[in-house]
């Protein structure tokens, strides 16, 4: 069974293969578009020089021929001899240049001309026999005149390119795999129920975005686990008080039946039922409601009327506006915010205000109560967190109203926050984004 390759090994092979294919394509283009035309022109020039040198030597007086041979060697790197080179053998390789030269020689002299390889003064020379003046003259030139060797250059560049591509892919693979390994370790930590260290949001755009989303997910899971623990602890704590009163009421009923104790039992049961209902609402989560067309000022007037029927003094400030919103979550959010404001408004009127512009809408519940310390403005959205520490449902509520508000806002894609008013009181703002018409 073949071993599965790692991402680094796969990238190295892919990059090396791509480089080899590119090198082959480049080599074909260089050979046929550059080197072959240059070899044909250069071989034509050398062929003409060799034939002309042989003809000139044959026509010169014998006394001037040695000087001509010396000048031919000095100026053009050619040597001329009437004797065949000793121990001459066919060349071991025939490159583009030699093939073109042999073809041009055959064409110029009208017969087959063979190139031979022999040693001269410790150096390898190439020789060709050319007919001239009724005899064969041997003309030779050094191997260095042949110039480049395309096949050797191709093999060298392919080998070097393959090695460089593999090293580059190995390095790039390590650069990419480092954050992936951090993701794997953080995911394993998260899977064990522990909170992983926040991943650095750096590197390429995609990896930085992935790290940001993972960090956001880990924080949400951490908050969820903390909320679950808080819910269980808060529920067990807040149920003890009504249970203790109910136990006392039952003992008193056994000793002295009285309708007052029955009424107290009924109030405690109602309080426990509301507390359990709020906890279940928060624990189960809230599904996203469908948006529907609504006239905002009319909807806010209904919410304000419902609050007035409960004893709140609510003043509405909202211009007519047609929006598409999930109505029931909006009713629940604003209802909880109004209940919270009325509890601390100290009898002052509440203000329900809507400000719509640029496709968005901001709805606020404003009161003239004592406000909240700046350090607690965000903490009050946590389950069972109360600014008023009496834990009485009359003065402090269940401690779940604002937690439900934030959860509903998150489900609907809204944003909710609190801020102290400059002239006294608290403002609870809800930023809603209307849904599209589609």
User: Which pLDDT belongs to residue 289?
Assistant: 64
Report d(CA 376, CA 386) in Å as an integer: 9
35 lies in the same domain as 60:
yes
Residue 341 has pLDDT above 50, yes or no: yes
Q: What is the mean pLDDT of the chain?
A: 79
Query: 254 with 314, same domain?
Result: no
In this predicted model, what pLDDT tens digit does every residue of 390-414 receive, in sequence order? 444 444 555 677 877 887 788 788 8
Clarify whether residues 421 and 296 are in a common domain. yes
- Shared-domain flag, residues 17 and 147: yes
Q: What mean pLDDT do residues 75-95 have?
A: 80
Same domain, 217 and 302: no
Do residues 20 and 68 both lie within one domain? yes
Q: Does one domain contain both 307 and 404?
A: yes
CATH code at position 257: 1.10.287
In angstroms, the CA 40 to CA 47 distance is 10
In this structure, the answer to whether residues 220 and 110 fall within a common structural domain is no
| DSSP per residue, 91-137 | -S---HHHHHHHHHHHHHHSS---EEEEEETTEEEEEEEEEETTEEE
C-alpha angle 359/365/366, rounded to 5°? 120
Give the DSSP letter of residue 33: I
Q: How big is the chain by its Cα radius of gyration, in Å?
A: 47
* pLDDT more than 70, % of the chain: 83
Residue 260 lies in domain: 198-284
Rounded Cα distance between 290 and 200, Å, is: 37
**pLDDT tens by residue, 129-152:** 888 877 888 888 887 777 556 666
Whether residue 354 sits in one domain with residue 274: no
pLDDT confidence band for 438 (50 / 70 / 90): very low
- Examine the fold and report which residue of 284, 307, 339 is the final residue of a domain before the chain moves on: 284
In CATH, what number is assigned to the domain containing residue 401? 3.30.565.10
162 within domain boundaries: no
Does residue 172 form part of some domain?
no
- Mark whether 299 and 423 lie in a shared domain: yes
Neighbouring C-alpha atoms within 13 Å toward the C-beta of 368: 10
Tell whether 307 and 413 lie within a shared domain: yes
Residue with tokens 């001037």: 64
Q: What is the pLDDT of residue 301?
A: 93
Q: Which domain-ending residue is among 284, 314, 334?
A: 284
Calpha distance 384→397 (Å, rounded)? 9
Identify the top-confidence range among 89-93, 94-98, 139-143, 302-306: 302-306
Q: Can you give the pTM of this predicted structure?
A: 0.47
Q: What is the pLDDT of residue 427?
A: 92
pLDDT exceeds cutoff 50 at 234? yes
Q: How many domains does the chain have?
A: 3
Structure confidence at residue 39 (pLDDT): 72
């Amino acid at each position: 069974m073949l071993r599965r390759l790692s991402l680094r090994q796969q990238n190295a092979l892919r990059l090396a293969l791509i480089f080899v294919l590119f090198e082959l394509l480049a080599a074909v283009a260089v050979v046929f578009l550059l080197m072959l035309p240059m070899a044909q022109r250069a071989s034509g020039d050398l062929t003409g020089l060799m034939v002309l040198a042989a003809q000139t030597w044959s026509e010169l007086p014998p006394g001037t021929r040695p000087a001509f041979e010396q000048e031919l060697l000095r100026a053009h790197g050619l040597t001329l001899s009437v004797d065949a080179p000793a121990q001459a053998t066919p060349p071991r390789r025939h490159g583009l240049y030699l093939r073109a030269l042999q073809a041009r020689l055959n064409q110029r002299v009208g017969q087959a001309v063979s190139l031979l390889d022999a040693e001269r003064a410790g150096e390898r020379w190439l020789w060709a026999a050319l007919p001239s003046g009724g005899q064969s003259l041997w003309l030779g030139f050094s191997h260095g005149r042949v110039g480049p060797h395309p096949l050797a250059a191709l093999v060298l560049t392919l080998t070097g390119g393959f090695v460089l591509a593999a090293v580059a892919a190995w390095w790039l693979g390590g650069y990419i795999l480092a954050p992936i390994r951090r993701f794997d370790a953080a995911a394993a930590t998260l899977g064990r129920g522990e909170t992983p260290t926040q991943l650095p949001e750096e590197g390429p755009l995609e990896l930085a975005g992935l790290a940001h989303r993972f960090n956001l997910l880990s924080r949400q899971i951490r908050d969820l686990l903390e909320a679950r623990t808080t819910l269980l602890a808060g529920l067990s704590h807040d149920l003890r008080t009504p249970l203790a009163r109910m136990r006392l009421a039952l003992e008193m009923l056994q000793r002295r039946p009285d309708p007052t104790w029955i009424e107290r039992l009924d109030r405690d049961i109602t309080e426990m039922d509301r507390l359990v209902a709020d906890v279940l609402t928060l624990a189960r989560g809230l599904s996203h409601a469908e948006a529907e067309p609504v006239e905002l000022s009319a909807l806010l007037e209904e919410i304000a009327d419902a609050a007035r029927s409960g004893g709140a003094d609510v003043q509405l400030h909202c211009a007519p506006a047609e929006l598409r919103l999930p109505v029931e979550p909006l009713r629940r959010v604003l209802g909880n915010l109004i209940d919270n404001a009325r509890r601390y408004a100290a009898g002052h009127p509440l203000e329900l205000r809507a400000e719509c512009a640029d496709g968005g809408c901001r709805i606020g519940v404003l009161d003239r109560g004592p406000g909240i310390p700046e350090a607690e403005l965000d903490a009050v959205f946590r389950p069972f967190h109360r600014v008023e520490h009496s834990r009485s449902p009359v003065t402090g509520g269940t401690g779940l109203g604002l937690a439900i508000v934030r959860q509903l806002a998150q489900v609907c894609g809204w944003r909710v926050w609190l801020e102290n008013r400059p002239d006294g009181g608290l403002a609870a703002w809800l930023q809603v984004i209307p849904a599209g018409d589609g």
